[in-house]
Each structure stands twice: as C-alpha cells, then as structure tokens.
Amino acid sequence: MRNQLHFALFGMAMACIASVPDCPAADIQILSAEAGETAEDVTEALPDGINVPAKTLGGNQLWADELVFHDWRIQRNSLTGHYRLLDDKDVRQKWGSWDQCAQALEDERQERGLPPLKGRVVLLVHGLGRTRHSMDSMRTHLREHGHYEAMTISYPSMRQEIVEHAAGLKRVIDHLGPEVFEINFVAHSLGNLVIRQYLHDLQKENLNGRIDSRIGRVVMLAPPNQDACITRLFRSEKMFQFVVKGTGEQLSEQLPKLSSQWGTPPCEFAVIAGGKSDNAGWNPLLEGDDDLIVRVEETKLPGAKHFSCVPVIHTFLMDDAEVQKITLAFLRGEGMPAPKNPTE
C-alpha cells in the first residue's frame, strides 16, 4: 500500500511539476520555497517598502485577482490583505490599498487610451497548483479564432477553500463593467468546482434562483464533478496535507456532498474528459478510464449539453488542439464535433 501511495503522489507531483513552464524561465530562480513568488512579492508588504515598478511572476499561490482589465489586474494578497496593480507584462506598477491601485489603473487607462471591456468575455480558470499561465494557449486560441475578450484568472488554489475562491471570482465579474453583455467560462480541474460554487452562491443570493443574465456557457476540462478518488489515496500523507491544505481536505473528504449541494449548473455546459477509452486509463490505481488524475466517470454531470473523452492526460488537456476546437465550437453554439465516448 505504501508503494501505491508513493505512486499516487508521483502522479500528482508530475501534474504540479508540469506547471513550472507556466512561469517565465528567468523568474524560476527567484521562487520562494513555500509561496512560489518573487522576493519582492513577499517584501512589498513591509510598511517601509518602496513603491516602484518591479517584475513579478503574476501571482501564484499568494495572490487572487479581484479586477482584470485588458490583462492588467488588481490582486489581493491572501496573507496580508494588501493589493497590487500588475500591468500586462506582470510588472507591479502600484501596491497598497484597493483605492490606491484602482486610481493608478484609472490613470493608466486614461493615459494609454485603453477602451472599456465590452461584448463577449471568456474567463479562464486554472486548476489546483497551477497558475493562470497554464491557460494561455487556450486564451490565445479563443482570442484569435473566436474574437472573444478572453482573460485568465489567478487565485491561490492551494491556500484557501473553494467558497473563498468563488467569492474572489465574483469580485472579478463584478468589476467587468457595464458594456460586457456575455460572460462565458472555460476551466480546468479544480477551476470548474470554483465556477460551480460561484453559480450556486449566485442562485442563493436571489430569491427566485436566477443568475446574472450575462452568464452564457461553461466548458469544463477534466472536472472532478462527482469525486476525486485519487486524493483519498494519500490524504494521510504529510506531503499532501502540506501542499494542498484546505482545498485538499475538501477534495478528499467533502466533494460528493459539495457536488450534491451545487447541483446542475443553471446554464449550458460541456464536459471534456481525458482518457484512453479502454476502461483502464493511465493510472493503475484508479478504477476505469482516467487521465492519470481524474477518472472519466468522475467528470460526468447530469444536464451536460456535450461530453467528449479525448486521449490527453490531465495536465495538458487545455493545450490540445482538438480540445480547443471543441471548446470554441461549444462557446459559439455551433454544431459540435461528434463526441467520443459519450455519456450514456
């Protein structure tokens, strides 16, 4: 059993290691041991810090986006509660209070003549242990071929619980502006649970159960919708407890109950799973087909308008050309490619 646990840990480690290219190579050398941030990301919170432009990694496991505007973003530090403004190159242009960062962004908007966000938006939400850069390939595809205002979202996936991530996503959406008339989502793995929590909370806020009329479609990539069996294989391991903290506990112990509470998303959604379509999958510890991390059966959710299973492992699903093609077609409401391994 011990060897099996180590194998499972190895699989999860591979998924996290694969996220290293999410960060620019020149920045990897300045990652801090625990938080995965640049040294200035940690020291900028000091009262006597100097507020000067500085290159960052864009926010890995300390920062949550609260406003995204043409790849500029205001982020909140999950430990200290202070804010910073990053430009479209992940250079910190301001840090301090929300009001200070918001005013700095408005000044930049005026000076650069940046237009307001408008039209159709797609928010891309990364998975556990990843960064928003893991969704860059999908974002580029949706921008170039779909002409969407596609924007990636940062959140500290290993430091808080799902309900807190959903609250952060709500703040991003609240700041999109009045000229945005359609909001779609594309998410990977844990990101899908954040969206389901957000939609559930939105329904609870309204007595009639309605949601924002701008909400369009959701594409779920490798979502652990029903369960996350692999997390239970090593939830007692100290390495697992240290790395994923509150989120890991939810995935390993509470997910079936949470999924039941969230119910079916109140909008059109598609599910794209990874698997070999051979009832065996890549991971011998998991029963049935899988993408190395999530079982195909775990991804399924009643009410889905489309389901596909593609031969791609968990970590690289969003980068696959076929997955990107299916995603764009579904968002557009076009005729879908014939599904592979469809739900029964």
At a CB cut-off of 8 Å and minimum separation 6, what does 162 contact?
190, 193, 194, 197, 247, 250, 258
Residue 341 above 70 pLDDT?
no
pLDDT digits (tens, 9 = 90+) for 23-58: 443 333 333 333 444 444 444 444 445 678 999 988
Whole-prediction pTM value?
0.85
* pLDDT value, residue 14: 44
Phi, psi at residue 79, to the nearest 5°? -100, -45
Residue 30: per-residue pLDDT: 30
Residues 153 and 169 sit within 8 Å (Cβ to Cβ):
yes
Residue 238: pLDDT over 50: yes
Q: Please write down the HEC assignment for all residues of 130-141.
A: CCHHHHHHHHHH
Report which DSSP code applies to 148.
-
Taking residues 80-105, report their average pLDDT. 96
The CATH classification number of 116-332 equals 3.40.50.1820
Residues 182/176, Cβ–Cβ less than 8 Å: no
| Average pLDDT of the chain, as a whole number | 83
Provide mean pLDDT across the span 126-131.
92
pLDDT digits over 271-306, tens only?
999 999 999 999 998 899 999 999 999 999 999 999
Q: 214, 122 in Cβ contact below 8 A?
A: no
Look at residues 288, 298, 275 and name the one whose alpha carbon lies nearest to residue 226.
298
Q: How far apart are CA 137 and CA 141, in angstroms?
A: 6
Question: What is the DSSP pairing of strand 63-69 with strand 54-55?
Answer: unpaired
Q: Hey, where are the domains in the chain?
A: 116-332
- Which residue type occupies 110? Q
Question: When comparing pLDDT for 18 and 129, which is higher?
Answer: 129
